[in-house]
Structure 1
Amino acid sequence: MTRSEARRARLRYVLVATLSPLAILALWALVAWRGLASPIILPPPSAIWTSFLDMAANGYSGVPLWTHVAASLARVSVAYVAGAALGVALGLLRGRSALIDAVLLAPSELLRPIPPLGLIPLFILWFGVGETSKVLLIFLSVLLIMMVNAQAGVRAASLDSLRAAQSMGANRWQVFRFVVLPSALPQIMTGLRVAMGTALTILVASELLGGDRGLGFLILDASSFFRTTYVFAGVALIGLIGLATDRGLAWAGRRIVHWEGRR
């Protein structure tokens, strides 16, 4: 593909990616305008925007909107970074050491199929309804996802590449640094994107447990009083945060794993 063809393909991609949500919004507005759905169930986008502006100006439940956003971001950031770091480390170790893999196999495989929401009652009993239970619930979900992806990435390393590095006199650290880690990075970057989506999902669920700060609290409180436009505004904010972080991780992945797809 020539440079001009690649540029046209990129512009076409951006155009479609921009028009797609606009088309959905237009269809949504048409449905609301024609009265095909109750405003309580599906309010028009203009009403949701008005509610968002109201929260931005006056806050919600006596708390500024950006305080709710900051509380949610603080929880998910701490849990995500810690869970991703430990998950990648354990996954790399499991991929390189059969003994460590055997030690962690049963605990991780027992926990992994359990929906994180199913652990909420236990976390409440163990850690209460404060910040600790919220952060640990997200942390555990991210850790399990990243451990599996990092381990799979290590096992994707080419046996020929490993033998070639060893035959050239590379020590264990050099084999890991120049062969194993580059092979694992694509899986790790994909895992980071998946884990972020999961972290935001668990964040909202964990904030329903209690407290008076966070987007999850805002959504639950608004739904209790049938303030549907505020519920949609809160959901839209979480979606925008997810979109921004996913695009950021995708951009970072293209820079870090720049060799992917060029072999």
Structure 2
Amino acid sequence: MPDKQRQVITNRVAFLETKIPSYAAVLGITVLLVLWEIVCRLGIVPPLFLPAPTAILTAGWDMLVSGELYEDLAASLVRIGGGYAVGASLGIIFGLILGFSRWTDAILTPIVYSIYPIPKIALLPLIILWLGIGETPKLAIIALGVFFPVVINTFSGVKNVDPMLIKAAVTFGSNHFNVIRKVILPASLPMIFAGLKLAAGTSLLLLVSAEMIAAQQGIGSMVLHYGNLMITTKLMVGVLVLSLLGLTFNRVLQWLERKLVPWK
């Protein structure tokens, strides 16, 4: 290989391996907020349409002091926490069963893939009819939205497990339970976490939609209420809270993935 070509390859490898500083994300967000504030201060966009970040923070502080934000946030956290936990747990279990059993794969996988494309929020009126008015329908619609991304990713993870690993475990006398627990589940974890991250965004979307349709408290209900009143500063507080919730969920899942899948 010529020296010039070798140098080009070396430079490309070095570029790919360059570590991004930890403050890069904070820097990007700070620049965006500063530009946003400047645009609002100069009056380029009317405050009714786009309030300044400082005005949003002031409104958020007032809502914290009054306790209004705590009540709405607590209601939303209970709903999304319960719905996400149920949907993710059932999705992982069901995905493992689908991937491990040929019979369940042949019978149930077509059903899963036929229901998955249906917008889950469209089923909320039907779920309310079945389960009544209250918290149960909201938890159910979130769990339903979380279930499908998790079950599909878990199923794909199981199907992509190296068959030689399974054969080796069976050869050494492992039963079905141990094969699932010690071989299939660990090998499927990267795909499972991919499904969990995807489901986190879906759960937030369904939470807001359900609260806008059938709730008196919650972040979604708060956003709709202040939108109707055209109080955009408090509306943007709700949007900011939802953004922080999504970021927090992602960070928690990344931390769990590093702990449970260290080889990745």
TM over 0.5: yes
1:86 equivalent in structure 2: 90
Q: Where in structure 2 are the equivalents of 1:1-263 lying within 5 Å?
A: 12-59=20-67, 64-260=68-264
- What is the distance in 2 between the residues matched to 1:185 and 1:9? 27
Give, in angstroms, the shift of residue 24 of structure 1: 1.0
- What is the distance in 2 between the residues matched to 1:129 and 1:26? 44
For the Cα contact (< 8 Å) 1:129–1:209, is it kept in 2?
Answer: no
CA RMSD of the aligned region, Å? 1.8
- What is the distance in 1 between the residues matched to 2:208 and 2:168? 48
- What is the distance in 2 between the residues matched to 1:240 and 1:186? 24
Whose radius of gyration is greater, 1 or 2? 2
3-state secondary structure, aligned to 2:118: coil
Q: Give aligned-pair identity as a percent.
A: 37
- What is the distance in 2 between the residues matched to 1:198 and 1:13? 30
- What is the distance in 2 between the residues matched to 1:193 and 1:24? 25
Unaligned runs of 5+ in 2: 1-13
1:81-108 CA distance string (max 9 Å, x none): 0111111000000000111123322331
How many residues were matched structurally? 249
Give, in angstroms, the shift of residue 213 of structure 1: 1.1
- What is the distance in 1 between the residues matched to 2:250 and 2:156? 21
Paired amino acid for 1:234:
G
- What is the distance in 1 between the residues matched to 2:47 and 2:203? 30
3-state secondary structure, aligned to 1:14: coil
Larger deviation, residues 182-191 vs 66-75: 182-191
Give, in angstroms, the shift of residue 27 of structure 1: 1.5
Give, in angstroms, the shift of residue 9 of structure 1: 5.6
Larger deviation, residues 140-149 vs 106-115: 106-115
Unaligned runs of 5+ in 1: none
Segments of 4+ moved more than 6 angstroms: none
For the Cα contact (< 8 Å) 1:153–1:183, is it kept in 2?
Answer: yes
Give, in angstroms, the shift of residue 129 of structure 1: 4.1
3-state secondary structure, aligned to 2:23: helix
Larger deviation, residues 198-207 vs 178-187: 178-187
- What is the distance in 2 between the residues matched to 1:163 and 1:210? 51
